[in-house]
């Protein structure tokens, strides 16, 4: 059985597998070489040869337990004919949403448009480097995708003032997102993804009174769908106010926690396997601090099924040798 399955399915506490969010990417010099020659991020995600190579770069370098496909949550709006581009030092920019264009998209158009992602997952899952590891597929959660599709860029400074004004649009878009996320998930699983992670990166923007409509219900729909394939599903409702309640209502197989939450409280209140938590900024300090903070998490979760990861994606300025040291500390624990 693969390492993540041992922890998630068998609830094993004697091992702590490790993988890192955004492990295939911008902190690696070999990735930066490819990126220099391929400035269009969407085209790079849709280049099955290069995206497979990028996915395997950290696996060749570090003793990680899972490969996560090099892709992006915004491949969903892209597949639905909403133009997406990535601007250097700014992030994603989406064109204003045209509901009629989105409504015209059918399953065949959608799958054809982003099919290289599935081919890349297929290549990676069959590669000898991952034969005893997990291949992780992923999607953005409906709420987070709704945020990008209506807000049109990252909501770091908050949502547009009139974000919630068009109820009809929001309801329609959430239904479309649910339908096409399921198509996207099915294709990832059929091509070899044996764990799925759902990223709700902007869960923290909502008030608790809005969780049912925007977080719980849409997440339950996806979690149950993934479970129908007998594939474990990890949810990451980043900065949600109450992880325990989320787990009790949504019932994912495992939950990824962010770095603002107290791991000790989590270990006492959450029954399911836990993943993540370490602040990515710790990797920018020194080996001594990194070791101390890593062992803190491993000690807290020593009697709880736990997958080591960060509380958010690895930062671009991280030195690869720091990640190497992190993996060594976790493996030697």
- 163-167 CB contacts, 8 Å cutoff, 24+ apart: none
DSSP states of 141-189:
-HHHHHHHHHH-B--TT---TTTTS-HHHHHHHHHHHHHHHHHHHHHHH
Tokens of 285: 């300090």
| pLDDT for 89 | 82
Cα 171 versus chain centre, distance: 24
| pLDDT for 88 | 84
Whether 258 and 292 have beta carbons less than 8 Å apart is answered as: no
Element (H, E) at 200: strand 195-200
User: 12 Cβ partners below 8 Å, 6+ apart?
Assistant: 6, 305
| pLDDT for 266 | 98
User: 75 Cβ partners below 8 Å, 6+ apart?
Assistant: 42, 45, 114, 117, 184
**Assessment of whether the complete model's pTM goes beyond 0.95:** yes
- Class of residue 89 by CB neighbours under 10 A (exposed 0-12, middle 13-18, buried 19+): exposed
Rg (CA), the chain: 19
Q: CA 106, CA 100: separation in Å to the nearest integer? A: 12
Q: CA 189, CA 176: separation in Å to the nearest integer? A: 20
Tokens of 39: 């400035």
Tokens 């209506």, located at residue: 150
List of domains in the chain: 3-332 (3.20.20.210)
Instruction: Name which of 240, 210, 221 is nearest 311 in CA terms.
Output: 240
For residue 116, the SS3 value is helix
Compute the C-alpha angle 126/325/268, nearest 5°. Answer: 85
Q: Are strands 254-257 and 91-94 parallel, antiparallel or unpaired?
A: unpaired
Q: CA 164, CA 174: separation in Å to the nearest integer? A: 13
Give the residues across from 134 on adjacent strands: 66
Q: Are strands 91-94 and 274-276 parallel, antiparallel or unpaired?
A: unpaired
Lay out the sheet containing 274-276: strands in order across.
Answer: 66-68, 134-140, 195-200, 233-237, 254-257, 274-276, 306-307
Tokens of 52: 């497979």
HSE, CB side, 13 Å, CA atoms: give it for residue 314.
22
Q: CA 242, CA 245: separation in Å to the nearest integer? A: 6
User: 175 Cβ partners below 8 Å, 6+ apart?
Assistant: none
Tokens of 63: 């003793």
| pLDDT for 158 | 84
Kindly provide the residue ranges of all beta strands, DSSP E only, lying in 77-121, ordered along the sequence.
84-87, 91-94
Per-residue tens of pLDDT for the chain, all 333 residues: 999 999 999 999 999 999 999 999 999 999 999 999 999 999 999 999 999 999 999 999 999 999 999 999 999 999 999 999 999 888 999 999 999 999 999 999 999 999 999 999 999 999 999 999 999 999 999 999 999 999 999 998 889 999 999 999 999 999 999 999 999 999 999 999 999 999 999 999 999 999 999 999 999 999 999 999 999 999 999 999 999 999 999 999 999 999 999 999 999 999 999 999 999 999 999 999 999 999 999 999 999 999 999 999 999 999 999 999 999 999 999
């Amino acid at each position: 059985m693969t390492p993540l399955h041992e922890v998630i399915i068998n609830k094993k506490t004697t091992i702590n597998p490790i993988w890192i969010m955004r492990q295939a990417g911008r902190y690696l010099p070999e990735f930066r070489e490819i990126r220099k020659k391929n400035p269009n991020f969407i085209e790079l995600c849709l280049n099955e040869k290069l995206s497979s190579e990028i996915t395997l770069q950290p696996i060749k370098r570090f003793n990680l337990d899972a490969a996560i496909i090099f892709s992006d949550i915004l491949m969903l709006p892209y597949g639905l004919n909403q133009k997406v581009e990535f601007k250097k030092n700014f992030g994603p920019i989406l064109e204003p949403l045209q509901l009629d264009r989105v409504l015209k998209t059918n399953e065949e158009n959608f799958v054809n448009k982003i099919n290289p992602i599935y081919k890349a997952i297929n290549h990676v899952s069959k590669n000898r480097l991952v034969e005893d590891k997990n291949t992780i597929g992923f999607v953005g959660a409906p709420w987070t995708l709704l945020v990008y599709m209506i807000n049109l860029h990252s909501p770091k400074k908050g949502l547009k003032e009139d974000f919630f004004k068009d109820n009809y649009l929001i309801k329609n878009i959430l239904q479309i997102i649910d339908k096409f996320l399921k198509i996207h998930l099915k294709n990832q699983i059929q091509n070899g993804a044996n764990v799925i992670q759902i990223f709700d990166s902007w869960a923290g923007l909502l008030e608790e009174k809005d969780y049912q409509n925007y977080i719980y219900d849409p997440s339950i729909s996806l979690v149950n769908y993934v479970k129908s394939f007998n594939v474990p599903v990890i949810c990451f409702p980043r900065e949600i106010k109450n992880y325990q309640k989320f787990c009790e209502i949504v019932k994912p197989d495992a939950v990824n926690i962010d770095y603002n939450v107290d791991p000790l409280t989590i270990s006492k209140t959450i029954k399911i396997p836990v993943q993540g938590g370490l602040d990515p900024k710790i990797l920018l300090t020194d080996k001594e601090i990194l070791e101390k903070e890593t062992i803190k998490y491993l000690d807290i979760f020593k009697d709880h099924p736990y997958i080591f990861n960060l509380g958010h994606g690895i930062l671009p300025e991280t030195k690869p040798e720091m990640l190497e040291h992190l993996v060594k500390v976790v493996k030697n624990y």
